[in-house]
Amino acid sequence: MALENLSQCKWGEVLPWHRCRRPPPKDGENITEDATETRRDDESRHQGIKLRVKTTTYFKLQPKLSEQLSDAEKVLVTNGSMLDIQYYIEVGQNHWLVELLEPNLGDKATTSWFVYSPDVELMTGITLTVASDTLFKAEPKLSSQLTDAQKVFVKAGTQFKLINNKPAAGDHAEIELADAVLGPNEKRTWFVYKPDTKIEGRHQTLRITGDTVFKARPVQSNQLASADKVLVKKGTVFRLNSFAQPAQNHVKLALQGAFLGPKNLTTWYAYVPDIEIEGTTIGNNPKDSNSSQPANPVDRGIALTLPGFAGTYFSNSPIFPANQFGVKGNFTWGEALHVNRNTGSFRRPASASVVYNILKIARIMEEIRRMYGGRAIKINSWYRDPATNAAVGGARFSRHLSGDAVDFVIPGISCFDVYARLSPWWGSRGGLASSSVFTHIDVRGYWARWDYGY
């Protein structure tokens, strides 16, 4: 379905979506350029999603069997054809609704088409190579615990393109195939034992979890002109270029290769509860460390001053003298600020808001420790100033810069198992990720998941 100006499309309207499309500006038409506008001047530079037809198939105006449609409602597209698309929507029954960048099929006027998804593949930058004969599984369990219908044998050397990949329990990866459906139920999502595979490449995808409105400004939609908002349906998937920190319960998103609304904008604000972000950026490979903090300190440690807070704090003092459970807190200012007792150096918070964020995530860490029966938790990385973040390989807009993210290890428990246990509990409250050597959690305020790949 095209994402349309709300003055023309009714909320919840199902068909015919292609009639709602607003034409792009004509050549030479003047449009003010600003940070929220991108003109679609040269489709050859399209950096968004590319779709390849694997098996000659019909693109259709309705998600029905092709024999149920008239010739005017379908177009035969041959195998090997490549199409630039702005986004796709998962509509069920193994059908996608794809929005073409240009109306180059059929009557050359329609950009929204349904296609049987097993007949097409998405060209992505993530490749999975099977290193050893393995099984793709419906659940991250031992293969002996699964029925034959819940597992598929895959030979060594087989390669797949992935839409995304995330950590999973038992040293597994959860993968979504971009170029294949497998098993009797033609599934795209599987679990695979990580040591049997090699995954290379990264990108970020945006998935819409509920019918929503993209907005030119982070305000109520009824405060915006029709040209400054577009309806986006549940199940829509975009390639994501970048995004900013949330404000006013909205996230500013820069879409990659999707040009929406009458101004062909790529940058929009989305309502936080309606989105999920999967994947991470190239270069996000943090390798931070933290000095060992004494379990039973004999003194208060290094004296610290915190912006916006009166008095003196000490590195060995708990962040919460009494935590939310009424007992002495388990995490110290020394852990949060990476105090080096030998040199007296520490990462001084840039502002009072960073300190408040440290307090916020410290409460979450206390809760996680309680979930694991009071086990000690080792902090790898907490607050990072910009210079440190760049030096350790953190993401450009890392939540560690804000103080509300922690990379940690629970000794004796796999980081992937920690991720798998925390993910449903953490839900859409923030980001969660894992590598083989730490688990990451942050309180960004919306659902984000990724695998560091090492």
| One-letter identity of residue 278 | E
The structural domains of the chain, ordered by start, are 1-124+203-279 (no CATH), 127-202 (2.30.30), 303-451 (3.30.1380.10)
pLDDT band at 236 (very low <50, low <70, confident <90, very high): very high
The Cα–Cα gap between 361 and 115 comes to: 44
Mean of pLDDT values over 232-244 = 94
Is this structure's pTM higher than 0.75? yes
**Nearest CA to 190 among 142, 248, 147, 138?**
138
Residue range 419-423: mean pLDDT, rounded: 98
CA distance 348 to 334: 11
Under 8 Å CB-to-CB from 250, ≥6 apart: which residues? 215, 218, 269, 270, 271, 272
d(CA 30, CA 12) in angstroms, rounded, equals 33
pLDDT digits (tens, 9 = 90+) for 273-308: 999 999 998 788 899 988 777 677 888 999 999 999
Residues counted in the chain? 454
Tally of CA atoms within 13 A in the half-sphere of 191 that contains its CB: 18
Which region holds residue 415: left if phi is over 0, alpha if psi is between -120 and 50, else beta?
alpha
pLDDT tens by residue, 112-166: 999 999 999 999 989 999 999 999 999 999 999 999 999 999 999 999 999 999 9
pLDDT at position 247, please?
A: 85
The answer, yes or no, to whether residue 29 has pLDDT greater than 60, is no
